[in-house]
Structure 1
Amino acid sequence: MTSRSTLLAFLAIEILLFAGASLIHAGIPFSGHEHAQARTAEGVIAVVLALGLAICLLRPAAARTVALAAQGFALLGTLVGAFTIAVGVGPQAPADKVFHGILLVLLVAGLVAAWRARRG
């Protein structure tokens, strides 16, 4: 797998996870996990990652920089979410805590892959 396809794969997986989390917090697949602020934040992050993926596809020379920026934004948002969970403001379900941990690991791995990718 080339470094560009690795970046695209990370972005695609992250988009699916954030969009799925946003839907869950909207109560779409099932009720009981609704949380308006989490839904909005995860939706915005999914859109930013999707825009990043689209730009990477349209401008391959910019893929590294765009992947770093989009995933950096997503990491910052995820850290804010993890902080709100830690202080008791955000969703408190055990699944939310595990999910944020998985997202943090995935985003850091994606940032490392982007950092190591060939420029241009």
Structure 2
Amino acid sequence: MEPSDTGTSENATNRGHNRTRRIAGFTSKRTVRTLLVVEAASFLLAAAIHAGALVDGYRHGEAMVAETVIGSVLLVGLVTTRVRPRWTFSAAVIVQAFALLGTLVGIWTMIVGVGPRTVPDVVYHAAIVLVLVAGIGLAWRTREPDRPE
């Protein structure tokens, strides 16, 4: 466990203040990382479904590629939060904004009739938009100033 996961920032002892916030007993960094894991897993699961690996009848190559890219970007953001803990909130906002943009493109493709328009696709897109917006809001509200390490 890193110092920032215990509720104290890495430099709290040296600077005399605590910059990491707690949300329902969890540090905000841990909560943001958990959201990134859930979001990435959901996109990669959707990609597997669109690849035809888990459920028949939902194969769609373009959706599979898009969801794989979005899930991978979210994983890169997650890794960044571990490698550079001070970048946690900035990285989370950036990768979730990318995922939200990609999801909105997916919704647009459904509207114009290019992308898959099954009930599970519509429900997933609506739900993941809500999760991504909430994740961006959480990361933005609990952000710490990015300081050079």
TM over 0.5: yes
Contact kept in structure 1, 2:90 and 2:143, CA below 8 Å: no
CA RMSD of aligned residues (A): 0.8
Count of matched residue pairs: 120
Give 1:30 deviation, angstroms: 2.1
Distance 1:35 1:118 in 2: 37
- The answer for the alignment partner of 1:77 in structure 2 is 102
Q: For 1:111 and 1:72, how far apart are their aligned partners in 2?
A: 7
TM-score (norm 1): 0.97
Q: How far off its partner does 1:118 sit?
A: 3.2
1:37 paired with 2:98, answer no
CA distance in 1: counterparts of 2:114 and 2:84, whole angstroms: 39
State the alpha-carbon separation in 2 of the partners of residues 87 and 99 from structure 1: 18
- Amino acid corresponding to residue 64 of structure 1 in structure 2: F
For the residue of structure 2 that corresponds to 1:66, the secondary structure is helix
Equivalent position to 1:47, from 47, 62, 72: 72
Q: For 1:31-84, what per-residue CA distance to the aligned partner results, in whole angstroms no more than 9, with x for missing partners?
A: 210000000000000000000000101111000110011000000000000111
The unaligned stretches of length 5 or more in structure 2 are 1-25
Equivalent residues in 2 for 1:2-81, closer than 5 Å: 2-81=27-106
The 2-side partners of 1:111 and 1:50 are apart by 15
Report deviation, 1:89: 1.1
Letter paired with 1:54:
V
CA distance in 2, matches of 1:18, 1:37: 13
Q: Which amino acid aligns with 1:68?
A: V
Q: Which runs of 5+ in 1 are unaligned?
A: none
Q: Secondary structure at the match of 1:31?
A: coil
Question: Residue 38 of structure 2 aligns to which amino acid in structure 1?
Answer: I
Runs of 4+ in 1 over 3 A off after TM superposition: none
